[in-house]
Amino acid sequence: MSLPKDPFILLSFVNTKLRDEFPSLEKLCENIEESKEYIEKSLKEIGYIYDKDKNTFM
């Protein structure tokens, strides 16, 4: 699966998937075959960090 390149669109995509389909970032990454580190790095660049307890990037 090709992820959105724009970090704000990526944020929306990932948070929607986490809210609607996946109980954790790890499960999402397994499903889409993308590294957790890539997603976290991309979203950290725009000021968002994964909150494991809330299962969302904030």
Closest CA to 28 of 58, 4, 46, 1: 1
What confidence category does residue 1 fall into, taking pLDDT thresholds of 50, 70 and 90? confident
* CA–CA separation, 47 and 29 (whole Å): 20
Percent composition of the chain: helix, strand, coil (DSSP 3-state, to 5): 55, 5, 40
CA angle 39/40/41 to nearest 5° reads: 90
Q: For position 24, what pLDDT does the model report?
A: 98
* CA–CA separation, 53 and 4 (whole Å): 25
- Which pLDDT tens digit goes with each residue over 15-53? 999 999 999 999 999 999 999 999 999 999 999 999 999
Give pTM, 2 decimals: 0.94
